Amino acid sequence: MALKKTNGSMDQLSAILEKFGIRNDPDWLSVVLFVRNLLGKLSIYSEDKQAEIQREIFTELSKKDFSDKHFETIIAMLDMYIMQTIGALELEESLSQEKRSGTQLLNEMNEIIDSMQGANVRQAKKLTAFKEQAATVIQSENDRSLIVSKVRDMFQELIVEFKEEAKELNAKAKMLERTANFDPMLTELHNRRAMDAYINEAVLAQRKDLAPLCFMMIDVDHFKKVNDTYGHQAGDDVLHALARIINAHAIQYRGFTARYGGEELIIIMKNMSLDKAVVKAEAIRADVEGYDFRIRTDGRLAEKPIQFTVSIGVAEWRTGWDSGKLLSAADAAMYEAKNAGRNRVCTFTE
């Protein structure tokens, strides 16, 4: 039976080769074998996607153009399918990693807070015990100098314990500070509180050093439509993807990235002129526009990508401005980009 099945399969393969006019050329034979036999065994493609790839490749083969140039075209098509799938799998993996890291941050914060609360309870119990022990010593001893000596020793032991516990609490407080400074969902980005502290410090430093300071406000275009059409999970995934793109750019010039609120993200750039900041903003806008983003449904990435774009406002600090004015200027420039048609970069003008 197996032999008959093999012979039947070979007959079908021969018929396909005959149909397209392919003889014994190993390169073209390998394309047919891949599309016909191997593609169906790759679980990374759905059946619909496999059928789509087969149709497109067989359409090209039906042209009976067996030139080297046409062969390179078909290989490029197959390469595109594979790279798109690899990119989709990498995105899915990174998203799951982010979910885990976000959960880890929340668990870490809860553990630290519980530990601090526990320390307060322990200290309260120790103080109560100290009072009781001191009262017992005072009531049971008649020698005043002996009472003072015993109570002093007990008090010193208590201080030593509190000092050690204080060191532990200080270390945990530093851990909590780091946890609190990052957005619980977009773990690559700082949160609003950390952003406020950073920009206030940067603006204050301008009084001593007049180096350029720029602020970039980035907002997803028609974000509500993404949520309404594809669901809030898709909206969250869009923000995750945007956060990675922004962070990858900002790392190159030591920009400070944060989530300002909702779908608005920011970059603060020290020692960068307005002209250069606009170039950096345009690079982000172009990368977002060309990003091959695929939504997830029941843990599976969609076959077709959806495109999303961003509007970006850029402002440079001016003499006499406080941090609020700088932020408002970038926000005004961002809304100017929205009003001008979206998917563009605008700078603040009076």
Q: Which residues are catalytic?
A: 263
Distances (CA, A) of 343 to 219, 238, 337, 347: 10, 15, 7, 14
Instruction: For CA atoms 78, 81, 82, 83, give the dihedral sign.
Output: positive
Q: Please check whether residue 345 is in contact with residue 336, taking contact to mean a CB–CB distance below 8 angstroms.
A: no
